[in-house]
Chain A
Amino acid sequence: GIQVEQSPPDLILQEGANSTLRCNFSDSVNNLQWFHQNPWGQLINLFYIPSGTKQNGRLSATTVATERYSLLYISSSQTTDSGVYFCAARKTAGNKLTFGGGTRVLVKP
């Protein structure tokens, strides 16, 4: 099946800093999503982005499907950005999302 790898596994930021999270996937995809898992375990949709670039407030994401990677940018980080960020991909003609191992982000005040 498809492999999804995220880096870095852990990230500690000072409030106000910018950061980039990376997601590599091993096959062509027709669905790629970024999620934020909050401290209560809820998976919150950030982006549906199988290709291209999207922005939502301080967050933006870019997927380069031909090179099989996606990036999530966090700008002017806040303590509420803390949590685990997951990338999940579904290969073309597949059903399931395959999740990466996540990046655990801690934003310190």
Chain B
Amino acid sequence: GAGVSQSPSNKVTEKGKDVELRCDPISGHTALYWYRQSLGQGLEFLIYFQGNSAPDKSGLPSDRFSAERTGGSVSTLTIQRTQQEDSAVYLCASSLAAGGRTDTQYFGPGTRLTVL
């Protein structure tokens, strides 16, 4: 079946504007994760959704970042009042469930965000 898809693949925005990034997980996967990869910073965790449980937001860097997951499937990551330091590749991953062999995380191709 299809893998994790993300849109847009590239986004260029001006400082201060809001952006929305979309993730479509693998069908049937209940767990969804957002990470970002910055130059020189490596990959860092942002937020995690598991089924209907409250999300783990411990990785969000500021209150300008938020995410939601509607209907247990598609997720949107929103960055308000973007700053230049938000420039990065935002990666989404999904897994069948949390724990055990079903916890293998599969990554989408990412959205490259550039804030001018």
* A40-68, CB < 8 A from B: 40-43, 45, 48
Contacting A at CB under 8 A, from B54-108, are 56, 58-59, 89, 91, 93, 98-101, 103-107
* Given A96-B56, A96-B59: A86 in contact with B101 (beta carbons within 8 A): no
CB contact list, B16-48 vs A, under 8 A: 33, 35, 37, 42-45, 48
In the bound assembly, the distance between CA atoms of A73 and B16 in angstroms comes to 46
Contact call A42/B107, Cβ cutoff below 8 A: yes
CB distance from B72 to the nearest CB of A (A): 17
Give the residue of A30, A43, A96 whose beta carbon is less than 8 angstroms from that of B91: A43
Give chain A residues whose Cβ lies under 8 Å from the Cβ of B100: 30
Which of A74-109 touch B at CB < 8 Å? 86, 88, 90, 95-102
Contact A33 B109 (CB under 8 A): no
Q: How far is the CB of B57 from chain A (nearest CB, A)?
A: 11
A40 and B107 alpha carbons, distance in the complex (Å): 13
| Inter-subunit contact A97/B45 (CB<8 Å) | yes
Asked if A31 lies at the interface with its beta carbon under 8 angstroms from chain B, I say yes
24 contacts between A and B (CB under 8 A): A31-B104, A33-B104, A33-B105, A35-B107, A40-B109, A41-B37, A41-B89, A41-B109, A43-B91, A45-B105, A48-B103, A86-B43, A90-B103, A95-B48, A95-B98, A96-B48, A96-B59, A97-B35, A97-B45, A97-B93, A97-B105, A98-B45, A99-B35, A99-B43
